[in-house]
Amino acid sequence: MPFKLLCPLAGLILLSAAFLPHGSRAQAGVAPPPLLLMPLPADVALDDGTFRVTADFTIGSLSDVGPRLRKAAARFQARLAGRTGLFLSQDVFATLGWTEGTSLFLKSAREGRLEPNEDESYLLLVGSSRIVLDAPTDLGILRGLETLLQLLASDDKGFYFPCLQIGDRPRFTWRGLLIDAGRHFMPVDVIKRNLDGMAEVKLNVLHWHLSEDQGFRIESKSFPKLHELGSDGFYYTQDQVRDVISYAADRGIRVMPEFDIPGHSTSWFVGYPELASAPGPYRIERRFGVMEPAFNPADERVYAFFDAFFGEMAALFPDPYMHIGGDENEGKAWDANPAIRAFKTNHGLADNHALQAYFNGRILKILAAHGKKMIGWDEILQPELPRDIVIQSWRGRDALIKAAKLGYAGILSNGYYIDLCQPASFHYANDPLPDDAGLGEAERKLVLGGEATMWSELVSPETVDSRIWPRTAAIAERLWSPASVRDVEDMYRRLEAISLRLEECGLTHIKNRDMLLRRLAGTDDIDALRNFVDVVEPLKQYKRHSQGLTYTQFSPLTRIADAAFPESRTARLFAAAVDDFLKDKDRETAADLREQFEWWKANQAALIPVLRDSAALREIEPVAADLARLAEAGLAAVTAVESGIAPGPGWAEAAEAAIKEARTSKAHVELPIVPAVEKLVRAASGR
Ligand code: ACM
């Protein structure tokens, strides 16, 4: 079908994705509504006009329809109806071929394979009377349908899609999310709603971390004591695993299991202590950190066990890759065992690193015999291993570069540790393959992509979504969109819109906060509490582990630190306003800042009785007091900067003391407005 039938070509402007947010139809003299796409497509050509969505919207196909496409179209139709409130009355795929009256034509040549380097590209043409989505594989159709849903907009005449042409393809083939079900078990519904979220932002690998010191999370028919004794009953049955794999496959997502060996393995030994390097007995580990227990690489029974175990798992998981972990084995259990020390000597293995390389080599052969390729954390990088393994870099991008130079494919996770509660902008700036990576063309091709990692020391099924979303959408854009897409402000503009849409698939990343606050406060009158928590963030990095309380698997994750979003939007906008004010001394910005400070002060008065009435909230009283003092200092600072009249003697010292006090961590949270208030105070006092 020629494009001009869809949209008049006159007035068409080709926009590179990088300029898309600012793209304008200058000829027509009107700015287009900003597109709220994430990830941004590779190429977008906007046109005048709209496709109006009405109740007779229908989906047809120009090619054979496989089961995945059929289900995807039905889901699309349900979501479109849900968003528009329209009673879409027609069947899905009632029409084949160029049928008059069909709204959306889908066309794909074949079913895509769920493996790296498969074609996920698509072409989306939205004209005023029909839409065509054309892709080499049905995976491209899935990606394009998500783009189309993101394009849905409304005005006074109703819902519409803007007329445009999108040509899109991923920059990286491996775009993953790791969910750690080991440290805290994540039930199937948590996994499924996150798969839906992943599909919305075009992520295509669920890395399912299934075993840890703290839990063995999958049913094994061959070795039932693994899940019976190693999980407290929190494990996935094999039927549930098949269900998740099929749910993911319907959304074009691979499911790659990780069984972390030889370390991180205490839970395996509760049922099978004979596989460990020390005699045991073993109990499920409840603490977090790097533990000593490790498989015994010198015992042939261990390799026989893995042959049977990986045989069973290889039959269950269709993905070409099996992740063996391999991280953080310090070798203490190996050093303590004389038989293992003798084994090293007899085999000419100079150190534990060489011993682990030997172990990996044996595991690699076992996996290969069961038709699986091996992937592991960067510790497994050993030049003697064959070149079809994949290295997952967590300690630094250097490992990825080093691996590529040695001819190994790799994916980046360093910089995508979403459990550390860093801002979306931090992850967004982290590129797996920057221009200055120092790699040749062939080496660059070995960088396959990256994965966000949701480690679960400090998340429960209740809070996990709020640590994954929406920040992971920014990582998804880094992995899908062209490298030139880098505008941070525009990323946040779109991220906010996408975050709301992610609720559509049941993700709890937004609503969970109010649920926790209601429970903590013991009332549904939580406005003052919410206003306060809005400028609170959980402590970053691993700082929560060094604040006097030892977190274990059984610790409560229901405090303000758990309710607070990892990144405060209010604090981000406040910091930007402070920067603007200090640059321009603009009166309007000054008034905004003053209003914000007054508001925080007033909120404190409303908050005090709420905190007093709840024993669970009392720990944040000093944090609330800090915020009130910062507001007081900020208010005086704005007035001083604006008037040019320095505050009275002793003011600067008192303000600096308030800032210092606000910086000392309390209740495992921090106040992200501190640096901006400090800038104001310094400007006011001329320091
Ligand atoms: C890791 O974070 N130990 C892979």
String of DSSP letters for 263-323: SS-HHHHHH-GGGBSS--------B-S-----B-TT-HHHHHHHHHHHHHHHHH--SSEEE
Distance (Å) of CA 337 to CA 92, 298, 341, 360, 686 = 64, 10, 6, 19, 64
C-alpha 552 to ligand 1 mean position (Å): 18
Task: Indicate which atom in ligand 1 lies nearest the CA of residue 453.
Answer: 2
Could you tell me if 168 and 147 are in contact, meaning their C-beta atoms sit under 8 angstroms apart?
yes
The string of pLDDT tens digits covering residues 113-135 is 999 999 999 999 999 999 999 99
| pLDDT range class, residue 95, cuts 50, 70, 90 | confident
Could you tell me if 561 and 667 are in contact, meaning their C-beta atoms sit under 8 angstroms apart?
yes
C-alpha 417 to ligand 1 mean position (Å): 9
C-alpha 218 to ligand 1 mean position (Å): 20
Task: Indicate which atom in ligand 1 lies nearest the CA of residue 377.
Answer: 4
- Best substitution site from 377, 378, 418 to test ligand 1's pocket, by max atoms within 8 Å of Cβ? 377
Phi-psi domain of 11 (left: phi exceeds 0; alpha: psi -120 through 50; beta: other): left
Q: Go through 69-92 and write b for each residue having 16 or more CB atoms within 10 A of its CB, e for each that does not.
A: beebbebbbebbbeebebebebeb
Task: Indicate which atom in ligand 1 lies nearest the CA of residue 455.
Answer: 2
- Best substitution site from 288, 394, 454, 542 to test ligand 1's pocket, by max atoms within 8 Å of Cβ? 394
Residue type, 101: G
C-alpha 657 to ligand 1 mean position (Å): 38
**Residue minimizing CA distance to atom 2 of ligand 1:** 394
Provide residues with CB under 6 Å of ligand 1: 327-328, 377, 394
**Residue minimizing CA distance to atom 3 of ligand 1:** 327
SS3 category, 494: helix
Q: Is the pLDDT of residue 609 over 50?
A: yes
Portion of the chain with pLDDT greater than 70, in percent: 95
- pLDDT at res. 31: 55
- pLDDT at res. 97: 87
- Best substitution site from 180, 261, 288, 327 to test ligand 1's pocket, by max atoms within 8 Å of Cβ? 327
C-alpha 654 to ligand 1 mean position (Å): 43
C-alpha 394 to ligand 1 mean position (Å): 6
- pLDDT at res. 669: 98
| pLDDT range class, residue 6, cuts 50, 70, 90 | very low
Q: Is the pLDDT of residue 250 over 60?
A: yes
Return the minimum-mean-pLDDT range out of 5-14, 149-158, 260-269, 381-390.
5-14
The string of pLDDT tens digits covering residues 515-545 is 999 999 999 999 999 999 999 999 999 999 9
Residue type, 413: S
Task: Indicate which atom in ligand 1 lies nearest the CA of residue 327.
Answer: 3
The string of pLDDT tens digits covering residues 443-453 is 999 999 999 99
Task: Indicate which atom in ligand 1 lies nearest the CA of residue 328.
Answer: 3
The string of pLDDT tens digits covering residues 28-62 is 445 556 799 999 999 999 999 999 999 999 999 99
C-alpha 268 to ligand 1 mean position (Å): 18
Q: Measuring CA to CA, which residue among 206, 191, 203, 192 is closest to residue 143? A: 203
Name the β-bridge partners of 410: 391, 447
Residue located via tokens 């009249």: 645
Residues designated as active site:
328
Q: Is the pLDDT of residue 414 over 70?
A: yes
3-state secondary structure 365-408: HHHHHCCCEEEEEHHHCCCCCCCCCEEEECCCHHHHHHHHHCCC
C-alpha 280 to ligand 1 mean position (Å): 25
Could you tell me if 60 and 25 are in contact, meaning their C-beta atoms sit under 8 angstroms apart?
no
3-state secondary structure 55-90: CCCCEEECCCCCHHHHHHHHHHHHHHHHHHCCCCCC
Task: Indicate which atom in ligand 1 lies nearest the CA of residue 394.
Answer: 4
Global confidence as pTM: 0.95
- pLDDT at res. 107: 97
C-alpha 327 to ligand 1 mean position (Å): 6
- pLDDT at res. 32: 56
The string of pLDDT tens digits covering residues 342-384 is 999 999 999 999 999 999 999 999 999 999 999 999 999 988 8
Per the prediction, the chain carries an average pLDDT of 94
With 0-12 / 13-18 / 19 or more C-beta atoms within 10 angstroms meaning exposed / middle / buried, residue 616 is middle
Region 298-302: mean pLDDT is: 98
Say what the alpha-carbon torsion angle 285, 286, 289, 295 is, to the nearest 10 degrees: 10
* The dihedral sign for the CA sequence 83, 86, 89, 94: negative
Residue type, 89: S
Region 633-639: mean pLDDT is: 98
